[in-house]
Amino acid sequence: MKKTLLATAIAGALGASAAAQAATVYNEDGTQFDIYGNLQFAYVDTKDSSGDSQDEILDNGSTIGFKGQHVINPGLTGYFKYEFEGDADEIKGAGGIDTGDQAYMGLKGNFGDARIGSWDPLIDDWVQDPISNNEYFDVTDSNSLITGADGANTQDNDNLDREGDKIQYMSPSFGGFQFAVGSQYKGSAEAENVSSDGNASFFGGAKYSIGAFSVAAVYDNLDNYDGKITGSQYIGGADDGEDFDAGDQYGVTFQYTIESLRMALKYERYDSGNTDYLPDENRYALGARYGYGMGDIYGAYQYVDVGGEDIGDTIRDGTDSIGDNVDSRNEIVVGATYNISPAMYTFIEGAWYDRDNDENDGVAVGAVYSF
């Protein structure tokens, strides 16, 4: 899942401090308030499901955000983050800042970190991003099987999300070991709730770091996406009113850093609860990023091992992203950035997904200005 600003994208010659362009508006008596953001534009040319080239200039995730913290006592700090996005490429006609990104508040201190709100899934941050958290193209992950227009149990409701209505506790580091546990709660009054009652899912993970090596593992029971299949949306092997089990999602990623080179190895599993509709999928991936002095060179290779390939007639009516691409496949993404200044960089990326008619293959070039 693409982030609004990659710290690693400009970590080559400029160092990690270059990614922190936030302007401190107030910093006094233990209270700090910052404003930050970025403008991102890209030209992208990709293949559609028919193999035809489609290109456009687009906004690539422009964001403005606010964050703050205040010291409650020497061992306890309260904090918040509030981010907004807008279509900067067509801002006059698109309505300006019209959608949100992350928003959460919490407490951190010697006990660890506890928060509530909306942010990226833990499996995204700890398992998927180390492989491929690029500017535009990434290797695929199992998140797309669960939410979105073609995801599990959407019931014509695009409000299903992996980020919102969450609580999480993350421990401090104990000699390099750290863990996190949390839940996403969808109450009975939620429009996106796929069941009639309130439901709390579970996710958790553990991470261990020693020197330049780290390993992280995450599990998510996807419990908020269980529900009923309705015949108006699903065809083939799924019967109207049939119980749907969204399954489970888990993965593990190993990382090793040698000076300016970071390498990562991933195994990710989507364990389907209803293989008549969605297949099991295993993902084996290798990613690397090298800071060459004025930017980064990076790439990722992933093998997607799809089980139960006889599901072509069970996809959602009117969609083809699942049924036409159920074969196991190889995916490759490569790219490079070039730092113009501590606040500005450009990038170029290419992607090959080994799908029918070269669907989603393409190239992208763009620029980012962070502040």
Q: Tens-of-pLDDT digits for all 371 residues of the chain?
A: 344 334 443 333 333 333 457 888 989 889 999 999 999 999 999 999 899 999 999 999 999 999 999 999 989 999 999 999 888 888 877 667 778 889 999 999 999 999 999 999 999 999 999 999 999 999 998 876 665 444 454 444 444 577 889 999 999 999 999 999 999 998 877 766 666 677 888 999 999 999 999 999 999 998 887 765 554 444 334 455 566 778 899 999 999 999 999 999 999 999 988 776 778 899 999 999 999 999 999 999 999 998 754 444 444 333 433 444 467 899 999 999 999 999 999 999 999 999 989 999 999 999 999 99
Domain-located, residue 243: yes
The predicted structure's pLDDT at residue 19: 44
Gap between the Cα atoms of 230 and 301, Å rounded: 37
Using DSSP bridges, classify how beta strands 76-86 and 63-73 pair: parallel, antiparallel or unpaired: antiparallel
The predicted structure's pLDDT at residue 152: 52
Residue 200 three-state SS: strand
Domain-located, residue 118: yes
Give residue 140's domain range. 37-59+114-370
The predicted structure's pLDDT at residue 7: 41
Output DSSP code: residue 174.
Answer: B
Domain-located, residue 20: no
Nearest to 59 by CA among 119, 19, 99, 17: 99
Using DSSP bridges, classify how beta strands 261-271 and 166-170 pair: parallel, antiparallel or unpaired: unpaired
Place of tokens 């955000």: 65
What six digits make up the tokens of 212? 């330049």
Q: What CATH number is attached to the domain comprising 50?
A: 2.40.160.10
Domain-located, residue 78: no
Count of structural domains, the chain = 1
Residue 115: partners with Cβ closer than 8 Å, 6 or more residues away: 104, 105, 106, 107, 167, 168
Gap between the Cα atoms of 87 and 42, Å rounded: 12
The predicted structure's pLDDT at residue 229: 56
Domain-located, residue 102: no
Domain-located, residue 81: no
Torsion of Cα atoms, 299 then 303 then 309 then 315, to 10°: -20
Domain-located, residue 85: no
Are the C-beta atoms of 93 and 146 separated by less than 8 Å?
A: no
> Which helix (H) or strand (E) is 92 found in, with range?
helix 91-94
Place of tokens 């306890």: 76
Gap between the Cα atoms of 10 and 298, Å rounded: 12
The predicted structure's pLDDT at residue 138: 94
Residue 108: partners with Cβ closer than 8 Å, 6 or more residues away: 76, 77, 79, 114
Residue 239: CA count within 13 A, CB half-sphere: 3
> Which helix (H) or strand (E) is 9 found in, with range?
none
Helical ranges in the chain per DSSP H: 91-94, 122-123
Domain-located, residue 50: yes
pTM for this one? 0.84
